[in-house]
Chain A
């Protein structure tokens, strides 16, 4: 066993299996959490029948989805239609390889970790475009178009805000970014970058109030209107996994990753700190969804180009200037 773990390839294979299991369980848990949070915000109690506190409800729902027929519309582009759900789910698993859950737990602490995360999460939009285009449905197409426009608009301020942190730490390696926040967390000295990142991350994951690609009151279900059964399930799982990933990245960049506040770990293991902070951010994103109405498409785009990008750019320039002076 030790032999396998010390071997790079063995470590990766074991890691991938763990990642697969963790991401599935995490998505199931988040769906349950979303329903519970929504319930309590809306004067209800949410699922409670299946299992303790309704915890098994999502598993039962998942089983139901597996049992559903996979319908491919007659006039859909078969190849695109079939690969879209796969393409949307696989890339969101990759960031788990570099996420620093604790000091010793990034599966592979490569020196371009941050770059890996952002390059793979960008593939998501391609999958949505393929799915929307391939289903040959006007609602799906509209959703796909919106999604592309939205992702282009929000990727820029997202990366600009991340760059501010990278400038300060002078590294793309996740573990080093965390270690650089030993005494204070970055959201204290980079509040604008943290805020921009969080807003953009919400938009990146197509969550309310930025959920226009799947706006159910306008576009029925947006880009996944025609998907049924587990194909729909994969879109669903990908969305929740994505939410976890962006929150985990936010934790790493701005909330000190696995470390306790001001360097005090209080005897709590790093992984607990990391997960606690991440799930707190996930809760905030859910809170958004059940509180805000949806922005309109053009307002969303102009908010990004006219407010977020100038703000993030100014923040980046100031950061660069200050670092140069020091």
Chain B
């Protein structure tokens, strides 16, 4: 019907619920998007769908009974959390751990970091629409899972560290497997770079997109590869070294602008650095016991509190434990990097396209159950 009305066509902003069930929100994240056509006007991440109450659980369990929980907080870097929790309790108790145990823990931690980054690499590219790298990464990651399964008995939610050491010693088969894996991973870099890094479409999708600049990152407490991507060389392993990180030689890869490309390159370089750490740790691996003697069966740390930060695959994670002197912790608070990383999105997303939103969401590598705990 033709009208002589010369009023402009009315366009309206509308809301789109991205999630909680959506193929690429990596868990049950819901992002409420206010859209103008395909452009984002406002983005509001809504969390809490995966809340399991790990912190509350801790208050009703002894220190030892809580051991299986940390690795379930972030199931992709389970070993790092398991490791972090044990370190926090040991610091609270003032316990000295045998050298060999420290080395074993670091080797396994770095393997876990690589597996987490590999999984990120695959899922991130799947968000960009490339399906194939996902299966290549899973093929590589499978080797790590098999190695850790052999030594810890589980594939994903590890509970291998013990207060005062590790559960059992590693053997030559594990060491040989790890060295072979590193060799294999290094031979894969050319494939990855030819398939992905040099791909024109990929470069166009990630360069200068989703810039988290230094100020925003520091304001929101963004840590890990996301912070290093914008040029801040902050890594807990260097800033407040724990275990043997002081004794091994490794670099902190940093980016420049903080766009998706920088975060991508930082993670890829980090995998190589982790390989270096593992190699050195294996070379230096001392002989001796793997568990401190004289650790009491009933663990009752002295009254007090401890905050222990460690570098998880996603950034600075920490355990804050308050002890009232009994065998039950009074309170355990877990600082999770994904929470802070996700909050920065509210500043980054407006003005981008729906397709970019997915790419940015993938690039900051969140694990939603970690946020909800």
Using a CB–CB cutoff of 8 Å, the interface residues on chain A facing chain B are 38, 41-44, 138-139, 142, 208-209, 211-212, 215-220, 290-299
Closest beta carbon of chain B to A209's beta carbon, Å: 6
Per a CB cutoff under 8 Å, which of B24, B201, B204 touches A218? B24
| Chain B hits for A42, CB < 8 A | 131-132, 135-136
Q: Output the least CB separation between A110 and chain B (Å).
A: 38
Given contacts A217-B127, A217-B358, contact A293 B23 (CB under 8 A): no
Contact status of A220 and B130, CB under 8 A, knowing A215-B355, A295-B201: no
Given A142-B38, A299-B204, also A293-B135 (CB < 8 A): no
Q: Which of the residues A41, A290, A291, A296 comes within 8 Å of B205, measured between beta carbons?
A: A296
**B interface residue numbers (CB < 8 A to A):** 14, 16, 22-24, 38, 125-132, 135-136, 139, 195-196, 199, 201-202, 204-205, 353-356, 358
User: How far, in whole Å, are A103 and B333 apart by their CA atoms in the complex?
Assistant: 78
Distance A44 CA – B136 CA, assembled complex (angstroms): 10
Q: Which residues of B contact A295 (CB under 8 A)?
A: 201, 204-205
Q: How far is the CA of A209 from the CA of B128 in the complex (A)?
A: 10
- Whether the pair B355, A138 counts as a contact (CB closer than 8 A) is no
Residues of A contacting B23 in the complex (Cβ-Cβ under 8 angstroms): 216-217, 220
Residue among B16, B22, B24, B199 making CB contact with A292, cutoff 8 Å: B199
Chain A residues positioned under 8 Å from B132 (CB to CB): 38, 41-42, 290-291
Q: How far is the CB of A212 from chain B (nearest CB, A)?
A: 7
Given contacts A297-B38, A299-B204, contact A217 B128 (CB under 8 A): yes
Q: Could you tell me if B129 and A215 are in contact, using CB atoms closer than 8 angstroms?
A: yes
When chains A and B are docked, how far (Å) is the Cα of A217 from the Cα of B362? 10
CA distance A131 to B161 in the complex (A): 55
Q: Is the CB of A138 within 8 A of B195?
A: no
Question: Which residue among A42, A139, A208 has the maximum number of chain B CB atoms within 10 Å of its CB?
Answer: A42
- Residues of chain A contacted by B356 (CB below 8 angstroms): 296
- With a CB–CB cut-off of 8 A, which chain A residues contact B196? 293
By beta carbon, the residue of chain A nearest B136 is A43
Looking across the interface, which residue of chain B has its beta carbon closest to that of A299? Answer: B204
Question: Please, how many angstroms separate the alpha-carbon atoms of A296 and B125 in the complex?
Answer: 13
- Pick the contact of A217: B16, B38, B129 (CB < 8 A): B129
Residue of B nearest to A292 (CB): B201
Taking the closest CB of chain B, its distance from the CB of A120, in whole angstroms, is 29
